């Protein structure tokens, strides 16, 4: 039996075991939506209130599971509204498959109604994209899209489908295997490089393990723990790697980078060996490249060969999947039966303990005004560190990263590479869809939350009981902090004192709203919100207006040039 393109689309989703798709309908995808309507028992569609929200929700779904996120939007503005989310997924290596509608093939290039060249527009910010021109190619193209999105270094893949193609018919055959001649990711580390890496490990006296989001994407957290504890080395995680190694473990030094801990940054700066695992040496970690880890040899493990020596030249590159390479390293270390200089390592830990004694994240919560750090810390304590936490972008994001101590992977859902304000609420929504019985928090600020606040309607429609912690300082806080430090306190256009009544706004969307103004009320409010397991609760915490995130490495400084207070 021959199927239409729209029917083939649904059968492909079923073949890929897609149970949830986020989207927003429009003219160019009506035939696809008609088939989605018929297939509701197999593929659950979540109607976002903006295409950007749909993509971020798909990201949250993907980041918190081992499945790709899937989204569908219409042509023209529907597709362009999705670009921010697609770019966000590209920079954070999130496996997404995004379907966009396109005008009929006969109208492509004619400036037809709601026509844009979305393939051209997204080319710089996707792993790959396709314009399907023949219905016979639709099934194989969708298979390739899922394969590319989830293999090697994950990323978003876009499939653009002209409207008239969805009514064309052909025989449906789904290719359960795919072979792309020009795409063959290396998955295992080269044996010689494994031995070279172990040579450096055994020679080191002041080593550091620097792990990133690639560990989580490769489902290699257990391997990382075994590797780290076998060596007894100190370890730090990037912003994207939080939870890859348990924050409660004594070998963990906290996050590194611009707002990382004093001990993590100084240990990196003073090390003689850096073992970089699934991390890409981005500028928020390295600071001034010329001053980065001046005395260290570097081992770099990454699935993407283009990321190795891209920003920092390394001594031993190992290309492959982290989940394959760490067991190779462990096996080689055990085979040799040797250890690095234990006396030197003990001295190194003694030095690190002196840096830890600085208590760089210490703060004092008084009785008069709520400190944002206190809110995050209380949320961590009251959820026993077991919540999924999505954040927006800004000061609140850094406080969440510093004070919610993640012991498990896939629990920290944030926008790292693109730094997208508005990410938090829809991403948390996607997490809650994937984990309906879990506690899902969204830590946000009064600037970020208003960028995609319309998704509160989606949360109401699908009964998503998020717990939103709005750290409200009436400023675009991180921009204001930079203006304080580097622009002589000229607070240009960052005043957010004119804002809605967030309690009434939450109630208007059908949710529970709270306004918390006193430190003594913080714990009780969070407890009350957590007790309402079937309701979305919007907690508007009025926090200290001109509070800053510390430590901080200025943009042109080295890791040892932190501002502590």
Radius of gyration of the chain (CA): 24
DSSP assignment, residue 359?
Answer: -
How far apart, in whole angstroms, are the C-alpha atoms of residue 325 and residue 241? Answer: 17
User: 453 CB contacts (<8 Å, ≥6 apart)?
Assistant: 425, 505
Q: Is 111 left (phi over 0), alpha (psi -120 to 50) or beta?
A: left
Under a CB-based contact definition with an 8 Å cutoff, are residues 470 and 445 in contact? yes
SS3 category, 300: strand
Q: Identify whether 163 is a catalytic site residue.
A: yes
Q: Identify whether 51 is a catalytic site residue.
A: yes
For 167-267, strand residue ranges (E) read 169-171, 207-211, 235-237, 252-255
Q: Identify whether 496 is a catalytic site residue.
A: no
Give how far the C-alpha of residue 89 lies from the chain's centroid of Cα atoms, to the nearest Å: 8
388-391 and 412-413: which strand pairing?
parallel
- The active-site residue, picked from 127, 143, 144, 163, is 163
- The active-site residue, picked from 240, 268, 478, 552, is 478
Count how many residues are written for the chain: 565
Tokens 């961590």, located at residue: 380
- The active-site residue, picked from 113, 339, 347, 518, is 113
How far apart, in whole angstroms, are the C-alpha atoms of residue 266 and residue 353? Answer: 11
**How crowded is the C-beta side of 408, counted as CA atoms within 13 Å?**
11
Q: Identify whether 406 is a catalytic site residue.
A: no
- The active-site residue, picked from 114, 365, 454, 499, is 114
3-state SS string over 415-427?
Answer: CCCCCCCCCHHHH
Q: Which two tokens stand for residue 186?
A: 């290396």
Q: Which residues of 437-454 are buried (b: 16+ CB within 10 A; e: fewer)?
A: eebbbbbbbbbbbbbbbb
Under a CB-based contact definition with an 8 Å cutoff, are residues 355 and 267 in contact? yes
Q: Identify whether 478 is a catalytic site residue.
A: yes
DSSP 64-117: TSSS-EEEEE-STHHHHHTHHHHHHHHHTT--EEEEEEE--GGGTTTT-TT---
Peptide bond into 551 cis (omega under 30): yes
| Beta-ladder partners of 273 | 207, 297
Under a CB-based contact definition with an 8 Å cutoff, are residues 69 and 430 in contact? yes
440-445 and 388-391: which strand pairing?
parallel
How far apart, in whole angstroms, are the C-alpha atoms of residue 479 and residue 481? Answer: 5
Is 166 buried (19+), middle (13-18) or exposed (0-12) by CB count in 10 A?
Answer: buried
Which sequence positions are flagged as catalytic?
Answer: 51, 113-114, 163, 478
């Amino acid at each position: 039996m021959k199927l239409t393109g729209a029917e083939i689309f649904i059968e492909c989703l079923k073949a890929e075991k897609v149970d949830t798709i986020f989207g927003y309908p429009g003219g160019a995808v009506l035939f696809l939506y008609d088939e989605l309507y018929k297939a509701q028992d197999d593929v659950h569609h979540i109607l976002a209130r903006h295409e950007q929200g749909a993509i971020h929700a798909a990201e949250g779904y993907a980041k918190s599971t081992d499945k790709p996120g899937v989204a569908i939007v219409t042509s023209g503005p529907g597709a362009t509204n999705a670009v921010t989310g697609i770019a966000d997924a590209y920079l954070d290596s999130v496996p997404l498959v995004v379907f966009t509608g396109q005008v009929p093939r006969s109208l492509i290039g004619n400036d037809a109604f709601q026509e844009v060249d979305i393939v051209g527009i997204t080319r710089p910010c996707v792993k790959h994209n396709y314009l399907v021109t023949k219905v016979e190619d639709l099934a194989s193209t969708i298979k390739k899209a899922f394969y590319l999105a989830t293999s090697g270094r994950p990323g978003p893949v876009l499939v653009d489908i002209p409207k008239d193609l969805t009514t064309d018919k052909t025989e449906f055959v789904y290719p359960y295997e795919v072979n792309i001649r020009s795409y063959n990711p290396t998955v295992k580390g080269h044996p010689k490089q494994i031995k070279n890496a172990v040579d450096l490990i055994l020679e080191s006296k002041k080593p550091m393990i620097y792990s990133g989001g690639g560990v989580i994407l490769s489902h290699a957290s257990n391997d990382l723990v075994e590797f780290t504890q076998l060596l007894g080395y100190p370890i730090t995680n990037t912003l994207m790697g939080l939870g890859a190694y348990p924050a409660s473990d004594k070998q963990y030094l906290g996050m590194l980078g611009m707002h990382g801990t004093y001990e993590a940054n100084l240990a990196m700066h003073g090390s003689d060996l850096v073992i970089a695992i699934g991390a890409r040496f981005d500028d928020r970690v390295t600071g001034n490249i010329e001053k980065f880890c001046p005395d260290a040899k570097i081992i770099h493990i990454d699935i993407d060969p283009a990321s190795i020596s891209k920003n920092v030249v390394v001594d031993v590159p190992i290309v492959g999947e982290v989940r394959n390479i760490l067991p190779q390293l462990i096996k080689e270390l055990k085979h040799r039966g040797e250890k690095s200089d234990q006396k030197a390592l003990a001295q190194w830990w003694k030095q690190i303990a002196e840096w830890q004694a600085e208590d760089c994240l210490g703060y004092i919560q008084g009785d008069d005004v709520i400190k944002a750090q206190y809110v995050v810390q209380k949320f961590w304590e009251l959820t026993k560190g077991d919540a999924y936490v999505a954040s927006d972008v800004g000061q609140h994001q850094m406080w969440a990263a510093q004070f919610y101590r993640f012991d498990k992977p896939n629990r920290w859902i944030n926008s790292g590479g693109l730094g997208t304000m508005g990410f938090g609420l829809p991403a948390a929504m996607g997490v809650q869809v994937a984990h309906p019985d879990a506690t899902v928090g969204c830590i946000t600020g009064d600037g970020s939350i208003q960028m995609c606040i319309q998704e509160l309607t989606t949360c109401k429609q699908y009964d998503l009981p998020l717990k939103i912690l709005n750290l409200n300082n009436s400023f675009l806080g991180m921009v204001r902090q930079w203006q304080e430090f580097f622009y002589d306190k000229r607070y240009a256009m960052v005043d957010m004192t004119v804002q809605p009544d967030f309690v009434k706004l939450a109630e208007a969307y059908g949710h529970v709203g709270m306004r918390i103004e006193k430190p003594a009320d913080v714990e009780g409010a969070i407890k009350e919100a957590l007790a309402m397991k079937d309701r979305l609760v919007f907690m508007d915490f009025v926090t200290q207006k001109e509070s800053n995130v510390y430590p901080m490495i200025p943009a042109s400084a080295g890791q040892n040039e932190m501002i502590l207070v």
